[in-house]
Structure formats: structure tokens, C-alpha cells
């Protein structure tokens, strides 16, 4: 197989620290499994708060990154001096723009965030069934609430009107819903292999091994809510083996807290998916363990991008305190994804996942630094 090339963008705050551990693990895996894998580092910190830079990343960043098979991102967001009252309330949008630029530029139309409460991860819910949380939240990542259309009329005056347009296409709706059903099937197959079966009821009383729950706010945001519902209904007929369900986004958030173990695959719009994935992340242990994948499953020339769900945590940056676990789970996901180009990478990804999970299960109660955790996981890989 051709050598697979990864662009490593450490980003801001704790990004470089956790990415450092990811690279060490990649080195260990490459040596052990003889992987045809190489990477290039792009140390592009955000300078949103410095006067000499208006933009965060070089103008040709996307051009440079497009040549790679995947992008491994640390964290973005440089809020500047957080204790400066003048700046405290200023918008944090500038240093995050590369994230949205990559999603758009590489048409990474799926944002996939698995949420499984692994042994050792913090359990926020009182009910012990929370241990069975195992869902995959799939967020539409290319349009919807995030099209950046709108503006401010009579800006700064008492008569100001601010608008924001939401745009949803049937094409993007169909593809994200179909992707959800495919993932549900794949998860069912994996579970059956591991003898961890589950059971979901269909509306006509049958039971299925997997489920897709569509989330909308169709009782208030009717136009796209109805379109999503119609697409969901039609596509679901092609998957009689997958149970279907619908929740309104407010009820979905409530049920995520009340009975998250009842969900399997969840499909939601860009903004609602953003909210649901953060909620799913905390229910499965918090930002310290949550991976995030921005995928383009259809165009092999477009790199997919992998980042932990957490931010740049400027308050603890540079101190060796950040937990690299989420970054390493993310790296494992990236390798599994790249398995479509080279099966050895899928195996390496599984090995990394298992090493991180084992480390989490054994050491969750100990206070450890970034490098200590990374080294322990590398040692497991060797």
C-alpha cells in the first residue's frame, strides 16, 4: 500500500502537549506494526489576540492540508489573556475559524462522536445503568444552522435587527440519514461478533439489534423538521432491520440524562448535534475522553479531520497537566478510519483503542501528568 500521510496540527493551549503524546503513540505503533505511515507537523498557533495577525492560520492552509490523507488536530482557541476584564466578553470566534473552514473546505459532512462509558471514566449519573451507555451521535456537519448567512441591520442602535439563516438541503439530509442507518447496521454486526447484543422495538412490534433516533425540533422549526422526517421515513424503509425513533431536541436532552443507555445511533442537525454531542460526551465520562471525527466519506481526495471534543484549555496550558486520553482515543479513531486505505492501520487503531481503554480502567483514580499517561500507553503498545 502507498504510504499514508497525516497532517498534524497541534493548535493552541494544551493542543501541542496532547498531540505530542499522540505522535509518540504513532511512533510506537509504526515500529511495532510496520505501518506505512508518516506525518508532518504544522505548528500554526492561533494569534487571534495578537495585533500582528488578523487571521489564525496561513492563507493557503487548506491547500497545504489537502495533500494529506487525514488531519490530526490538537485544539483550537486562543482567548488571549483570560483575566483581562476588557476582553472577557469579546467573541471567541476568530481563532476557531480554521475548524469551520476545514469542515467546509473539505466537505467533512459527517461529525461522528461515539459516546461509550468505559470502565474508569467518570460517571456523572446516579443510575448504574449509565455503565451501559453506548451511543454514536452523528451530526450533520455541512449546512443547516452553520451556513453563516445573515447579518446585522442598524448595527449597534436600539433598532438593530440581527438575522441568521438556516439552510437545509434534501441532498445533505438524505446522505446524513443514510450514513446513520449504515452505522447502525455496522454497530449491530460488531456487537453480534462480540456477543453484546441489544434489542430495540420497532413501531410494529418487532425487535431489532440496532436503532436510529432522529432528533429535530419539528414542532417549532417545521420546514426542515418536516423535510428531515420525510427523508427519515423514506430511507428507513430500506433498513427494515434497524428500528427507528424520533425525539424533539429538548426531550432528547432530557432523555440523554434520564436514560442514555436506551440510545444507539442518534442523527441530528449541525447545531442540535453540537449540543447533543457535548451532552453525550459528558455522560460518557467528560471532555477528558471524548473523540470527535469530521469525515468526508464520499470523496477520497478530501482529508477527514480528527480532534478531541475538548478545547484548548488555556488555563492549564503549558503545565504538563492536560489529560491526553481524548486525543489518543481520537488518534485511534483516525487509524481505524484510515483502515479503508490500509487494513494494517485499522488493526493499529484497535490496538491503540485497547491500550488507552486499559490504561483508563486501571489508572482512573491516580493523578498523572500528560507525559506520564502518554508513556504508560506507549509502553502498552510496544
Q: Which of residues 211-230 bind ligand IPM (CB under 6 A)?
A: 219-220
Q: Near ligand IPM by CB under 6 A, which window of 24-32, 95-103, 163-171, 188-196?
A: 95-103
Q: Near ligand IPM by CB under 6 A, which window of 15-23, 96-104, 151-159, 200-208?
A: 96-104
Tell me the Cα Rg of the chain.
21
Is 254 an interacting residue with respect to ligand IPM (CB under 6 A)? no
Print burial letters for 319-334: b (CB count within 10 Å at least 16), e (below 16): eeebbbbbbbbbbbbb
Site for its own copies in 267-286 (CB under 8 A): 271, 274-275, 277-279, 281-283, 286
Site for its own copies in 158-197 (CB under 8 A): 158-171, 174
Q: Which of 99, 136, 184, 355 binds ligand IPM (CB under 6 A)?
A: 99
What is the closest distance, in whole angstroms, from the C-beta atom of residue 292 to its own copies in the complex?
12
The item of its own copies, ligand IPM, none sharing an interface with residue 268, based on CB under 5 to 8 Å by kind, is: none
Is 226 an interacting residue with respect to its own copies (CB under 8 A)? yes
What is the closest distance, in whole angstroms, from the C-beta atom of residue 248 to ligand IPM in the complex?
7
Using left for φ > 0, alpha for ψ between -120 and 50, and beta otherwise, residue 8 falls in beta
Interaction mask 42-81, ligand IPM, x per CB under 6 A:
----------------------------------------
Residue with smaller CB distance to its own copies, 135 or 338: 135
Residue with smaller CB distance to ligand IPM, 95 or 370: 95
Contacts 24+ apart (CB under 8 A), 295-302: 295/108, 295/109, 295/110, 295/111, 295/112, 295/337, 296/106, 296/107, 296/108, 296/109, 296/110, 297/109, 297/110, 297/179, 298/107, 298/109, 298/175, 299/107, 301/66, 302/66, 302/106, 302/107, 302/108
Site for ligand IPM in 268-297 (CB under 6 A): 274
What is the closest distance, in whole angstroms, from the C-beta atom of residue 324 to its own copies in the complex?
20
Residue with smaller CB distance to ligand IPM, 31 or 90: 90
Exposed/middle/buried for residue 204 (C-beta within 10 Å: 0-12, 13-18, 19+): exposed
> Closest Cα partner for 56 from 78, 80, 83?
78
Site for its own copies in 82-141 (CB under 8 A): 83, 85, 88-93, 96, 100, 123-127
Is 250 an interacting residue with respect to its own copies (CB under 8 A)? yes
Query: Do residues 44 and 66 make contact, with C-beta atoms less than 8 angstroms apart?
Result: no
Q: Near ligand IPM by CB under 6 A, which window of 56-64, 80-88, 93-101, 280-288?
A: 93-101
- Gap between the terminal Cα atoms of the chain: 23
DSSP 79-113: ---TT-HHHHTS---GGGHHHHHHHHHTT--EEEE
How many angstroms separate the CA atoms of 276 and 253, rounded?
7
Q: How many amino acids of this chain bind ligand IPM (CB under 6 A)?
A: 7
Amino acid at each position: 500500500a502507498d504510504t499514508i500521510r497525516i497532517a498534524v496540527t497541534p493548535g493552541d493551549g494544551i493542543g501541542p502537549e496532547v498531540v505530542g503524546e499522540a505522535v509518540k503513540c504513532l511512533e510506537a505503533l509504526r515500529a511495532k506494526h510496520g505501518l506505512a505511515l508518516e506525518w508532518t507537523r504544522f505548528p500554526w498557533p492561533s494569534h487571534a489576540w495578537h495585533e500582528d495577525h488578523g487571521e489564525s492560520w496561513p492563507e493557503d492552509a487548506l491547500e497545504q492540508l489537502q495533500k494529506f490523507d487525514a488531519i490530526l488536530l490538537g485544539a483550537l482557541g486562543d482567548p488571549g489573556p483570560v483575566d483581562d476584564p476588557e476582553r472577557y466578553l469579546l467573541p471567541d470566534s476568530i481563532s476557531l475559524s480554521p475548524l469551520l473552514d476545514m469542515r467546509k473546505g473539505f466537505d467533512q459532512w459527517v461529525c461522528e462522536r461515539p459516546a461509550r462509558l468505559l470502565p474508569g471514566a467518570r460517571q456523572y449519573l446516579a443510575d448504574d445503568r449509565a455503565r451501559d451507555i453506548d451511543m454514536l451521535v452523528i451530526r450533520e456537519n455541512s449546512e443547516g444552522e452553520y451556513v453563516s448567512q445573515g447579518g446585522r441591520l442598524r448595527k449597534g442602535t436600539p433598532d438593530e435587527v440581527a438575522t441568521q439563516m438556516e439552510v437545509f438541503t434534501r441532498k445533505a439530509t438524505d446522505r446524513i440519514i443514510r450514513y446513520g442507518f449504515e452505522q447502525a447496521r455496522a454497530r449491530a454486526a460488531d456487537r453480534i461478533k462480540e456477543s453484546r447484543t441489544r434489542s430495540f422495538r420497532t413501531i410494529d412490534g418487532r425487535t431489532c439489534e440496532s436503532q436510529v433516533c432522529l432528533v429535530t425540533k419539528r414542532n417549532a422549526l417545521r420546514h426542515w423538521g418536516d423535510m428531515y422526517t420525510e427523508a427519515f421515513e423514506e430511507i428507513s424503509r430500506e433498513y427494515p432491520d434497524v428500528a427507528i425513533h424520533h425525539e424533539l431536541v429538548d426531550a432528547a436532552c432530557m432523555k440523554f440524562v434520564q436514560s442514555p443507555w436506551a440510545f444507539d445511533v442518534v442523527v441530528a442537525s449541525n447545531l442540535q448535534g453540537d449540543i447533543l454531542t457535548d451532552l453525550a460526551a459528558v455522560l460518557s465520562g467528560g471532555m477528558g475522553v471524548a473523540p470527535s471525527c469530521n469525515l468526508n466519506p464520499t470523496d477520497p481526495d478530501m482529508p477527514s479531520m480528527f480532534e478531541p471534543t475538548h478545547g484548548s484549555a488555556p488555563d492549564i496550558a503549558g503545565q504538563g497537566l492536560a489529560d491526553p486520553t481524548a486525543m489518543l482515543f481520537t488518534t485511534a479513531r483516525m487509524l481505524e478510519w484510515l483502515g479503508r486505505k490500509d487494513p494494517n492501520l485499522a488493526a493499529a487503531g484497535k490496538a491503540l483503542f485497547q491500550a488507552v481503554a486499559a490504561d483508563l480502567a486501571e489508572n482512573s483514580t491516580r493523578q498523572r501528568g500528560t507525559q506520564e499517561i502518554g508513556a504508560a500507553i506507549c509502553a502498552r503498545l510496544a
